[in-house]
């Protein structure tokens, strides 16, 4: 199954999530509404809310609740809020192949709209009663993880000494933590057992790590037409898994030399192509692909305790989709 057919299978539940997102973002400020529509029109795969709904249904025999819809919508709002902020931090002109709000309307607008989406996400998490403190803690932790992941990445860009444990901590914070919140909140929304909640978290973390590894591979093996230009991570001094894999295959002296090239790339942008060739020629992509496969296998294995269902099959398919996606 592809993403489109999975969304079709989820059917009315998916429609309810979309309606919840649209309703949450409504404002009597015309400019804000128009800007929100622009963001929504390029909303990407919406993988996090889809995972949340599927996990809720997988844990409950196909049943979802109002909370399931709210948490799924909140995960998508929170994700896009972080992207609107990231585009300012990274001076990004394009995302998903389209101009960013930062490039169209300026960094201040992008930050303000991101703040608005973040607040609306938190309102959905609170719900009508505002007494679900566990979910507030879960999503608050995710926000902290996101900030810590970004700051650790900045710190390591300055020092140039990222190792694989650093890398995994960074991508857990930046990516896997929100996958985890989306899936765990889906399980909690239907009063799943403690074992199912733990399984939802294990599946989501492995899937999130695999997703980000695949994304980082695109920087060395993607195409500009796919919506993510190549070579950007290197220019931002990010040492990701493909580069780590290549560094592990050469001498310590050569590794130090390449790391220094990355750390000082601002002084000589022309070395980017040399670094990218180094990764391709020293098995970096193959190494990253192997680690990607490991985390996909972990995600699929985590689902073994779930009863057989179409939802479980969809979750397995999404894990394999992560490994094979081309954008």
Looking at residue 308, what DSSP letter applies? P
Pairing of strands 98-99, 94-95: antiparallel
Check residue 228 and give its pLDDT.
63
Phi and psi for 99 in degrees, rounded to 5? -60, 140
**Would you tell me how many other CB atoms lie within 10 Å of the CB of residue 37?**
11
Give the chain's domain count. 1
Tens of pLDDT, residues 85-133: 989 988 888 887 789 999 999 999 999 999 999 999 999 998 876 657 8
Residue 165: strand, helix, or coil: helix
Cβ atoms of 198 and 67 within 8 Å: the answer is: no
**Average pLDDT along the chain, 327 residues, taken 10 residues at a time:** 90 97 95 94 92 98 95 97 90 84 93 96 84 85 95 95 97 97 97 96 98 94 63 93 98 96 90 95 97 97 96 96 79
Which CATH number characterizes residue 258's domain?
1.10.600.10
Place of tokens 């009863």: 307
pLDDT of residue 91: 82
- Residue 95 forms beta bridges with which residues? 98
Residue 143, helix vs strand vs coil: helix
User: What is the rounded distance in angstroms from the CA atom of residue 325 to the CA atom of residue 174?
Assistant: 19
Which pLDDT belongs to residue 62?
93
Kindly compute the dihedral angle of the four CA atoms of residues 122, 139, 49, 70, in this order, to the nearest 10 degrees. -40
Number of H helices, E strands in the chain: 17, 2
Q: 178 is in which domain, residue-wise?
A: 3-324
Name the E strands within the chain.
Answer: 94-95, 98-99
């Amino acid at each position: 199954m592809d993403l489109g057919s999975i969304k079709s299978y989820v059917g009315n539940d998916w429609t309810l999530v979309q309606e919840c997102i649209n309703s949450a973002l409504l404002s009597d400020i015309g400019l804000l509404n128009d800007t929100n529509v622009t963001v929504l029109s390029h909303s990407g795969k919406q993988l996090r809310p889809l995972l949340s709904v599927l996990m809720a249904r997988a844990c409950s025999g196909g049943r979802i609740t109002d909370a399931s819809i709210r948490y799924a919508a909140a995960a998508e709002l929170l994700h896009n809020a972080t992207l609107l902020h990231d585009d300012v931090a990274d001076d990004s002109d394009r995302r998903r192949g389209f101009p960013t709000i930062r490039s169209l309307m300026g960094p201040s607008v992008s930050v303000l709209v991101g703040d608005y989406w973040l607040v609306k996400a938190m309102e959905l998490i609170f719900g009508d009663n505002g007494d679900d403190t566990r979910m507030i803690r879960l999503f608050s932790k995710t926000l902290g993880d996101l900030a810590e992941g970004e700051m650790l990445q900045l710190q390591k860009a300055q020092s140039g000494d990222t190792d694989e444990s650093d890398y995994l901590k960074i991508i857990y914070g930046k990516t896997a933590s929100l996958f985890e919140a989306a899936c765990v909140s889906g399980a909690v929304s239907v009063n799943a057992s403690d074992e199912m909640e733990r399984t939802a978290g294990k599946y989501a973390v492995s899937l999130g790590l695999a997703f980000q590894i695949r994304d980082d591979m695109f920087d060395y093996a993607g195409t500009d037409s796919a919506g993510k230009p190549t070579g950007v991570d290197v220019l931002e001094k990010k040492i990701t898994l493909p580069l780590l894999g290549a560094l592990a295959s050469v001498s310590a002296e050569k590794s130090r030399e390449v790391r220094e090239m990355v750390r000082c790339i601002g002084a000589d942008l022309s070395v980017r192509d040399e670094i990218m060739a180094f990764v391709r020629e020293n098995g970096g992509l193959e190494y990253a692909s192997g680690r990607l496969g490991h985390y996909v296998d972990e995600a699929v294995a985590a689902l073994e305790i779930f009863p057989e269902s179409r939802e479980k099959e969809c979750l397995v398919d999404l894990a394999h989709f992560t490994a094979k996606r081309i954008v």
